[in-house]
Amino acid sequence: MSMEKIYGFEPIIDKGCEVLILGSMPSVKSRENNFYYSNPTNRFWKIMSAIYGEDFEGMNYEQRAAALLRNKVALYDVYSSCEMKKAGSSLDSDIRKCEMNDIPRLTENTCIRKIFVTSKKAYKSFVKKFGAEFDRRGIEVVSLPSPSSANRKKFKTDQALIDEWKRLMK
C-alpha cells in the first residue's frame, strides 16, 4: 500500500503577530486551492469573522491573509509534511510519518504570546516536541476544537463552536 506524501504551506506571519493558530496539515480542498481552510464546510473563517468582527468569509485568500495580520494573528501548521494512509484523505487519523515545522524558530522574533492548536493529534505532537520550550518562554499553548465539519458531533451548531473558541482564546 503506497501512501501519499503531502506538504504544508508557508506561514502567514509577521513580527507584530501576538497569536499563532496552528492546524495539522492542509486538507485536500485546501491543497487544491493552495490556501488554508479552503474547504467550504470548514468553519474556520466563520469563526474568525465572529471573533474579529470582519467578514473573512467574503474575502479572497489574499484579503484573508492581510486581515489575519491586521488582527495580529499568524497561521501555520504543526506538520511540514506527512504521509496520508489513504490517498485523498484529509483526516488527521490518516496522518503518518510526520515532519514538524520549526515553530520555536518561526516565533523567535515575533510578539507571539499564545499558541492555539486546532487538532488533538497535532496538539499532542506539538506539546511533546516543543511544550517545554514554550513553557520556558512563557507562551501559553491551548488546544482548540477542530473547525472541521468532521467535528459536528460535539459542536452541532456553528455558534456552539464559535462560543467555545471565544472562551478558550480569552
**Catalytic one among 33, 42, 71, 101?**
42
CA atoms within 13 Å, Cβ hemisphere of 154: 11
C-alpha cell at 120: 488533538
> How far is residue 59 CA from its own chain's centroid?
18
Residue 80 parent element (H or E): strand 79-84
Q: CA–CA separation, 137 vs 145, rounded Å? A: 24
**Grid cell at residue 56:** 473573512
Q: Measured in whole angstroms, how far is the alpha carbon of residue 67 from the centre of its chain? A: 16
Closest CA to 148 of 40, 51, 7, 5: 40
Helix (H), strand (E) counts: the chain: 6, 7
Q: Give catalytic status of residue 42 as yes or no.
A: yes
Closest to 24 (Cα-Cα) out of 110, 102, 97, 91: 91
Query: Catalytic amino acids?
Result: 42
